[in-house]
Structure 1
Amino acid sequence: MGGVDVVYSPYDPAINDDPYPVYARLRAQAPLYHNPDLGFWALSRHADVSAALADNVLLSSDHGPLLDPGAWGRHARRFLSFVAMDPPEHTRMRAAVSRGFTPRRVAALEPMIRQIVRGHIERAVERGTFDFARDLAARLPLDVISELVGVPPSERANVRRDSSFVLAYDPEGQMSEEGVKGIVSLGGYYRSIVAERRATPRDDLVSALVADDELTDDEVVAFLFLLIGAGAETTTHLLCAAWYWAWRNPGQRAAAFAGAIEPWVEESLRYDTPAHGIARRLTRETEWHGARVPADSKVWLLIGAANRDEAAFPDAGVYDLGRDTARAISFGAGRHYCLGGPLARLEGRVALEELTKAVSPGYDIDHTRIRRTAHGNVRGMVSLPTTVKPA
């Protein structure tokens, strides 16, 4: 916008490394920001983002939530399921798949999650030095979801590889060649699972989905793309954020290791939100902050910026396990509130509980070797070298 001295691109590595100073300038100077080169308008204040997330009439999900040009469009539903739909299709699809994610079903997963966590932690503690992101945070959610879906252990490495390719984009925001190959590979693999479960049902999530006459094979496959791709990544980045920011803040680490596990999860979700932005298609010309935004524009809702808004969270730049996080919008809002949010919270709580039992609070991180994602929607750590000592 004219006269505003702030430049923002989610694909800029310098910004991605620490976007919060830029987010603060966006909220103060350009609460409606236009990037004509990448073709989006961005909202960054908590009031604007939370209201926009809840308004599916003004801001449609029918082009998907991803900012990247290769993933934006009517085709998005093929691999993003109901998050790329509006009512009534979204209502029908979400109602069908949500039967597998009732509070009772999610709570019943805790023993299985705890067993998986303990196995990964035991191996990490034996080594002493390990990569927290790769060896624990990335493996746990994929193993949990694979158990739900029925992916055998021998196939999980390939699923993780193809999922990572799907979420890899170049600096211009285009889907990588590996991403295209990953979609083809995962799609074929998921279809084979669906066919197997139709022929021989088991006690797993896919069998439950294919038993629902309202869901086609294409819809089940699209949901599996969403579940194993985006669902696993959110939990991975939540765990890494909690581990890293507790290390950076010894007083908060002490509180966490003393038992403040749920506040540790919630403040980490707010302070270093895994899903930093969500894209929406504007259905009609609308004015924000004195500027007219044309219909069909791509609107980028900066959840990561909104969760650091001083107007919603006093001292928002302070990592504080004692704060009230009730207004955080880390998992969205409205009809598209993340269906997997309760599962991610459960995985985070169980993993952090087991970690505080197994290792000393005096763990260390090699901050010189941390590597972060370069994906537009999601921000987190893909490498977090850690050294621990047994408790």
Structure 2
Amino acid sequence: MGDDRPVPLTKGAAVGDLEFSPFDRAIHEDPFSVYTRLRAEAPIYHNPDLDFWALSRHADVTAALPDSALYSNAYGPTLDKEVWGSDAERVLSIVAMDPPRHTALRALINKWFTPRRVALLEDRIREIALGHLEPALERGAFDFATDFSGPLPLDVISEMIGVPDVDKAFVRNYGSTMMIRRAGEGVSDEQAQAGMTLIEYYSAFIAERRKGPLGDDLLSVLMTELGDGEIVAFLLLLIGAGSETTTHLLGSAWYWAWRFPDEREKAFSGRIKDWVEETLRYDSPAAGVARRLTADHELHGTKIPAGARMWLLLTSANRDERVFPDPDRFDLDRDTTAMVTFGVGRHYCVGSALGRLEAKVALEALVARVSSAYEIDPAGIRRLRSSNVRGFASLPTVVEARSL
């Protein structure tokens, strides 16, 4: 695959004209040519202005992800200045914890997200999916992101924690507003207010649940072990990370199948699982995750100081030509088992089985009801503006319904 040796760096500076920032709008549109150069020329890349170091090769990312002793998660998984810091756990719950705190909470919730457990939700997920899909199909033209892939996982999360049906639209609307992405622009007043509204709602919801007997459900288990503030933080995490992954997985699957007609025909022939897995590799919903270096470290001949902010590029690792032949081809026939989309080690995404199931059910519903000859309006496509999430804010779609 060519010479793997990096170009020597001086004090961790960029190589020549190679510049990278996850806050750059050009990166949001198409990061992959820059990632190719990072892997070849600067596998350990330092951005002195934003003060972070980026790892882009599969081998380096997979070595760093499970090593919480050296690559701490305690400052949070994002470089966004609003949440990066020693108190990130207060806002980001389990994704900003190291052992033993992480181990204890992970053990508490693991059984609710196993493949066997989430499989019990399949019929209900299908009902929710069709509840959003059928009105869209009646119109023939709809926004895939805002009318289908966005609402679906938010409603599934509400279902899991027992939000009453009458409140689901409320949670969905404020959850969507809270998750608006404007990389580098900070949290808007609208987002902050939406977050506060959800905090108030969940606090009242938990208080009401505490008045009655606990049941055999996720929220009841959390209520036996955690304080109300900790539960609210976890529920907000589910609204964010728990729904965004599925939303953007679905949007990317729909978009890339449209861009690659031969692969689209494979997908519509019934290869839903392969469609989901290759989308997860090809255009991961999580662009990267942050870590904080706990000790001085040397990598590729470059010394990195303790306390450094590390940016582990999942999307680049998933396109590493050392692991995935012809990595820039969207190919449903490839082996995707080495992808790092959901992480590695103790921080492997607890909701991965749920996200995969939601995507499977949603895409099955689409394939059963629409022709493969769907269209997306290129002029209306809008990418998210986010440093750590990849996906679409808008995907205007026109479909032809199949007769069932």
Pick the TM interval, shorter chain: over 0.9
CA–CA separation in structure 2 for the residues paired with 1:2 and 1:346: 41
> Match of 1:79, as an amino acid?
V
CA–CA separation in structure 2 for the residues paired with 1:254 and 1:170: 35
Relative to the length of structure 2, the TM-score reads 0.92
Sequence identity, in percent? Answer: 55
For residue 153 of structure 2, what is the aligned residue in structure 1?
A: 141
Give 1:306's match in structure 2, choosing from 302, 317, 323: 317
For residue 33 of structure 1, what is the aligned residue in structure 2?
A: 45
CA 1:316/1:120 → structure 2, altered by over 3 Å: closer, same or farther? Answer: same
CA–CA separation in structure 2 for the residues paired with 1:264 and 1:27: 26
Mapping for residues 80-119 of structure 1, pairs under 5 Å? 80-119=92-131
* Contact 1:11–1:173 (CA under 8 A) maintained in structure 2: no
Unaligned runs of 5+ in 2: 1-12
When the two chains are superposed, the root-mean-square deviation of aligned CA atoms in Å is 1.7
CA–CA separation in structure 2 for the residues paired with 1:103 and 1:349: 13
What's the CA shift string for 1:75-124, capped at 9, x where partnerless?
A: 21122111111111100011112232233221100010011112222111
CA–CA separation in structure 2 for the residues paired with 1:339 and 1:171: 26
Mapping for residues 230-269 of structure 1, pairs under 5 Å? 230-269=241-280
CA–CA separation in structure 1 for the residues paired with 2:50 and 2:221: 38
Unaligned runs of 5+ in 1: none
How many residue pairs match? The answer is 390
Q: 1:54 is paired with a residue of what secondary structure?
A: coil
Q: 1:82 is paired with a residue of what secondary structure?
A: helix
For residue 124 of structure 1, what is the aligned residue in structure 2?
A: 136
> Match of 1:81, as an amino acid?
S
> Match of 1:370, as an amino acid?
I
Tell me the CA shift for residue 263 of structure 1: 0.5
* Contact 1:63–1:281 (CA under 8 A) maintained in structure 2: yes
CA 1:163/1:297 → structure 2, altered by over 3 Å: closer, same or farther? Answer: farther
Does the alignment pair 1:366 with 2:373?
no
Q: 2:291 is paired with a residue of what secondary structure?
A: strand
* Contact 1:70–1:173 (CA under 8 A) maintained in structure 2: no
Mapping for residues 1-391 of structure 1, pairs under 5 Å? 1-168=13-180, 170-172=182-184, 174-201=186-213, 205=217, 207-212=219-224, 214-391=225-402
CA 1:11/1:305 → structure 2, altered by over 3 Å: closer, same or farther? Answer: same
* Contact 1:149–1:204 (CA under 8 A) maintained in structure 2: no
Tell me the CA shift for residue 206 of structure 1: 5.2
* Contact 2:83–2:91 (CA under 8 A) maintained in structure 1: no
Q: 2:275 is paired with a residue of what secondary structure?
A: helix
CA 1:170/1:353 → structure 2, altered by over 3 Å: closer, same or farther? Answer: closer
Tell me the CA shift for residue 183 of structure 1: 3.0
Q: 2:112 is paired with a residue of what secondary structure?
A: coil
Relative to the length of structure 1, the TM-score reads 0.95
CA 1:294/1:27 → structure 2, altered by over 3 Å: closer, same or farther? Answer: same
> Match of 1:101, as an amino acid?
F
CA–CA separation in structure 2 for the residues paired with 1:164 and 1:76: 22
* Contact 1:120–1:135 (CA under 8 A) maintained in structure 2: yes
* Contact 1:79–1:221 (CA under 8 A) maintained in structure 2: no
Greater Cα offset, 144-153 or 66-75: 144-153
* Contact 1:167–1:375 (CA under 8 A) maintained in structure 2: no
Q: 1:74 is paired with a residue of what secondary structure?
A: coil
CA–CA separation in structure 2 for the residues paired with 1:303 and 1:387: 32
* Contact 1:257–1:361 (CA under 8 A) maintained in structure 2: yes
